[in-house]
Amino acid sequence: MSAKFPLEIKTFTKEEQMEHEKVYKTSEFFDDFSRVGPKKYTVMRYEKDAANIYNMKLCSSNIIVNSFPRSGTTWTQELVWLIANDFDFATAKNVPLHVRFPHLEFAPEILNELSNSPKLSSQFVMTHIPLSLLPPTLLDTCKVVYVARDPRDVALSNYHLERELCRLQENVKFEEYFEVFIANLRVYCPYFEHVKEAWALRYHPNMLFIFYEHLSRDLKSVACRICDFFGKKYNEQQLDQLCDHLRFVNFKKNPAVTRQQQYNQQQEMCYFPMLYEYAQESHGRDWEWGEWNEWDQAVKEEAEDTTSMRHEEGEGVVPKQKNEMEEDQRK
């Protein structure tokens, strides 16, 4: 701990590292794990940039999308960017999303800038870093959109992603992966604490909390909420065009989202060396709400028990039904 970063960072214990390596490979791109803060968030290669991120200077024009990985983040980024930029579909189709809306932890140009100056230069930033590890003045300064998803679907989606990116040991079954996930050894876990922090702030005027399930079920109504959040006017034609642009069948083929443009230009990926190949097969894959129902019964029961227990303790977030969401909007 220091005056610049008040939270304690502890490297994985030998036991934690051994449990982690039962599921995960160790490589030059995937190492240096630690726990941070009282909630013991798992982070990777974090200590060098922790203070710079925690103390970065924001302004009212900054827009942050925050989430736990595989919660509908990319979908939300594109939706937020288009609305904030007055439905500029031409730019959205030609400029890669990671350029328009960089991922803070994997944007070396931003991290290098922050090491020299605390001012955040990019207007739009996405991050999976929990709110408690971001600047304490975040919501008093700029707008944040947080997207959450059913934790059972999140776990399954992360398993598919990390398997495709060859991060997992050979032949790791989902049951084994899920044990690591609920033991909070996956980066950015604990999941429930991550979501709770945003959920507790959902009535702040600069926070908009949305659900992946609502995006899937009624994209247009969520788009209207985001328009209202940013004070943007819109017409039905713009909303229809927006929804068509964001339909999975179109979205997953958009080279500005899959990073095909960057791959074609550089023949390598800036952040994840195998992401292009993964994107061609399944990035933006049309997962359905409740795909966790395909889990083996024993795993499903354990996940349901965990989710139910957390929710009863006030630690879980279950997607609200439409009438509950409308009631929140009236408050």
Residues annotated catalytic, as ranges: 128
Pairing verdict, β 33-36 and 41-44: antiparallel
∠ CA 179-182-185, nearest 5°, is 85
Long-range CB pairs of 79-82, under 8 A, 24+ apart, other chains included: 79/215, 79/222, 79/223, 79/226, 79/242, 79/246, 80/124, 80/145, 80/226, 81/124, 82/242, 82/245
Write the CA distances from 20 to 14, 34, 91, 166, integer angstroms: 10, 11, 41, 15
Q: CA-CA distance, 199 to 191, in Å (whole number)?
A: 12
Which two structure tokens, joined as six digits, stand for 211? 């659900």
Laid out side by side, the sheet with 124-127 consists of: 124-127, 63-67, 143-148, 207-211
Burial of 266 (0-12, 13-18, 19+ CB in 10 A): exposed
On the CB side of 210, how many CA atoms lie within 13 Å of its CA?
30
